[in-house]
Structure 1
Amino acid sequence: MSSQHKDDKYLETVEVRSVSSNDREKGFADGVKMHDEVFGDINEDGPNYRGLSDLGAIVIMTKAMIGLGILSIPFVFMAVGLVPGVIVILVIQVMMTWANWQVGQTKLRHPDVWGVTDVGRKIAGRFGEEFLSVAFLLYMVFIAGSAILAISTALNAITLHATCTAVFVAVAAIIGFMLMSIKTLQEVSWLSWVGAVSILAALLMMVIVVPLQDRPAAAPQTGPWEKDLKLFNTPTIAEALSGVSTVVFSTAAAPAFFSFAAEMKNPHAYTRCMLVSEAIATSFLVLVGSVIYYYCGQYVAVPAPGSAGVLFKRICYGIAIPGLAMSLCIYAHVAAKYIFVRTLRGTKHLATHTKRHWITWFACTGGVTIIAYIISSAIPIFSTLCSLIGALFGCFVSVCPMGLMWLKDNYVGNRNRTWKTHLGAMWAVFVFLSGVFLTIGGTYGSIVAMVNSGTEGKPWSCADNSGSVPTA
């Protein structure tokens, strides 16, 4: 069967419709809305795994890329300088946009693909699948852990550290469990509207308020102060690589984008939805990073809302909490959904509300919550956690597999190679090697940063992690 024919067959399953006599003759049972290569027969008495609209996809994609890492972007500018900071964002975004484009192409060519783990199977068989399964789950759960940590920071800031931080971490984990247990991305996308609007509003408030201040909140509040703004800074190799890893963490969402494509009503609309969300994300990354660093210089706070001062930091965090909660929801949901789909795939329980269906689903969401909670409690320094996640897993699961999959689909075994094919192959190899380099180098930089952070944070600590309460 040709690739085009498979694409056409896949598109035929998009429209949700009633079952007619002709459908029954083709093998559809009563109550079946459609057949999906991943989810099987989607029934009227089960979740609609193919209900994500184009607009819903744009919102959930944008929310997946804007929420956590962007809060550390001004710190990256401080490390590398204003001009290199913009360049790093643009270069990384070009790579990530290509990787996310390849997600859509892979899904159309291989309708049975649900996630990057299936890409691993097609590239390297069972070993590739299992290897990427571990990396994918760690990446998703680590991001969920960083979201829990960010929510605890927000709660500390809003309440001026009204109680032990460990309590806020536990509260964030409970909120995450309730949100991630929503069954389909179609339903999650409605909440993502609230999350996207809240985080974008908070970021815009930051960008407006910080320039209006007499001086940054972290600067000496009396007497002269030196911004020490640098167009080009001279970071150590470790600092530079750690900064790049933070940018990667902010933008590397390809593993989650697979699940978005899998649940879209019209997967052929994936690319245009992705490009819109990439444009929005890139604009905000550059805007927030450059403006906050330009006006704060060496006194940039991490996370970024701290640069707005205590009052506006509390306001910004209050507005941003729904957005942070939705970041936790999306990535934890995708991790739980992978385990759920893999456990029940090929059975009636995947798309039908049976007892086994519900027990498995809540076991998956509960397990992801517990692991994310442990991670957020064990690594209590937000910027370090962001950098470590981006270094260890960002490129490894978002970029490297996409380069190899392009080569498998377009170059290996292709006897009609043109100059465009060769150029595409060169780019795919470059993307793959860049991902390997950033994984190794970024991990080194992040570990050095973690060691240098010393005793700034303790596991399961009650100490304020928002900088709202002066320490003795």
Structure 2
Amino acid sequence: MAATTERRGSLARVQQASRAYWSSEPRAGSWSNIRSASADLPVAPIAGAAPRRSLGASSGQDKYDGEKRASDEEFGVGDIHEGEEKYHRLGWKKLTVCLIVEAIALGSLSIPGAFAVLGMAPGVILSIGLGLVAIYTSYVVGQVKMRHPHVAHYADAVQLIWGKFGYELAGAMFAVFLILITGSHVLTGTIAWIRIVDDTAICALAWGIISAIILFIVALPPTFAEFAILGYIDFISIIIAILITIIATGVEAHSAPGGLSAVDWSVWPPPTTTFYQAFLATTNIIFAYSFAVCQYSFMAEMHTPRDYVKSIWALGLIEMFIYTVTGALVYAFVGSAVKSPALLSAGPVVSRIAFGKPPTTHTLRSRREAR
């Protein structure tokens, strides 16, 4: 009877520590609290097994402690807890980097093309408005994770509402979405390789396969905390590429006949814009703000999950600034001739530099001949 009461008390302490991990108390969100509480759980004896003896035990409690330690060592209980801690080292700053890698690399390159279809004013309004909507929806996603810690992805979240059918439906949709977003990255890599190598003898499919292999390799880090290290490199690279594109297009527009006033950009959608084109451009902006796609998985590795609010606000404001400035400036410098990805709008020489390779002598000669 006493052992049962003690075990119930230990379980209550574990549950309390787990709830505290997801609470808002500053010192509660620590896996060490859960581990220390779990360490008090008595290990049930295996049926038919001979009881272990604690050498030198001077009391019944010492004997119990010795048996518990031996059982922990045999079944690796301590190692399991240490392994769990490895997957809970993600802070809100690294989470912001992970979310940036997820969304901003592709989004910033497609925004200028959306501005060219929608016009300057609708483009700015949608970039800011959809950014605020994305922050709110990401906040709601985080609240679901806080109240239901077992939710690992959108299929689990939909299962809370629609049951098994919702789980299967959302799981299939989520898988298709991840395949398509990976395909977008592969396509961007293919365009980059074609632009860098400038060899028409190599099939574009080969560059697509190479891009897919590279994506697979960089996705191998087992934890998001380790993956965030690559995120810093990715973020710096895309910012440099955006700056190169903006500066190059601005210089070209200023040096062209008529200067900036000759660029054919418009405040409102051009008369030739169809509903289909406007709808597609709007979805490109929505896609650029899809940073909550893997938020459940990211939050599962946070050591202080309640800090996710800092991440979504930081990311949302950064994205709104980058998308609005990039879309408006590149569209104002290039006009209706803007390309997607936007790096191609800077011309063959600068686009090669933006993609990461200096221009060749052949490219420079071709550019001079074109002039």
* Cα distance between partner residues in 1 of 2:77 and 2:301: 17
2:125 paired with 1:87:
yes
1:212 counterpart residue number: 251
User: What is the 5 A alignment of 1:36-435?
Assistant: 42-44=80-82, 48-161=86-199, 163-214=202-253, 227-233=263-269, 234=271, 235-318=273-356
User: What is the 5 A alignment of 1:14-33?
Assistant: 14-17=29-32, 23-26=38-41, 29=72
* Cα distance between partner residues in 2 of 1:165 and 1:213: 29
Secondary structure at the residue paired with 2:266? Answer: coil
Q: What amino acid sits opposite 2:30 in the alignment?
A: E
Measured at CA, do residues 32 and 101 of structure 1 come closer, stay the same or move farther in structure 2, by a change above 3 Å? farther
Q: Contact conserved, 2:145 with 2:151, CA < 8 A, in 1?
A: yes
- Deviations, residues 158-188 of structure 1 (Å, cap 9, x unaligned): 1123622111111111111112222111111
Give 1:15 shift: 2.7
- Deviations, residues 284-303 of structure 1 (Å, cap 9, x unaligned): 00011000000111111221
* Cα distance between partner residues in 2 of 1:63 and 1:5: 33
Q: Contact conserved, 1:19 with 1:32, CA < 8 A, in 2?
A: no
2:49 counterpart residue number: none
Secondary structure at the residue paired with 1:254? Answer: coil
Give 1:213 shift: 1.1
> What stretches of structure 1 of length at least 5 have no aligned partner?
34-40, 320-467
RMSD: 3.3
* Cα distance between partner residues in 1 of 2:133 and 2:263: 33
* Cα distance between partner residues in 1 of 2:328 and 2:128: 13
Q: What amino acid sits opposite 1:169 in the alignment?
A: G
Q: Contact conserved, 2:265 with 2:336, CA < 8 A, in 1?
A: yes
Measured at CA, do residues 18 and 81 of structure 1 come closer, stay the same or move farther in structure 2, by a change above 3 Å? closer
- Deviations, residues 401-455 of structure 1 (Å, cap 9, x unaligned): xxxxxxxxxxxxxxxxxxxxxxxxxxxxxxxxxxxxxxxxxxxxxxxxxxxxxxx
* Cα distance between partner residues in 2 of 1:19 and 1:99: 30
- Deviations, residues 56-101 of structure 1 (Å, cap 9, x unaligned): 1111112222111221111111101000111111221122111101
Q: What amino acid sits opposite 2:347 in the alignment?
A: G
> What stretches of structure 2 of length at least 5 have no aligned partner?
1-11, 44-71, 358-366
Q: Please, what TM-score do these two structures have when normalized by structure 2?
A: 0.75
After the TM superposition, which of the residue ranges 59-68 and 226-235 deviates more from structure 2? 226-235
- Deviations, residues 19-53 of structure 1 (Å, cap 9, x unaligned): 977642236956657xxxxxxx9543578221212
Q: What amino acid sits opposite 1:254 in the alignment?
A: A
Q: Contact conserved, 1:47 with 1:184, CA < 8 A, in 2?
A: no
2:22 counterpart residue number: 10
Measured at CA, do residues 69 and 289 of structure 1 come closer, stay the same or move farther in structure 2, by a change above 3 Å? same
Q: How much identity, in percent, do the aligned residues show?
A: 27
Measured at CA, do residues 54 and 27 of structure 1 come closer, stay the same or move farther in structure 2, by a change above 3 Å? farther
* Aligned length in residues: 310
2:60 counterpart residue number: none
Give 1:231 shift: 0.4
Q: What amino acid sits opposite 2:20 in the alignment?
A: D
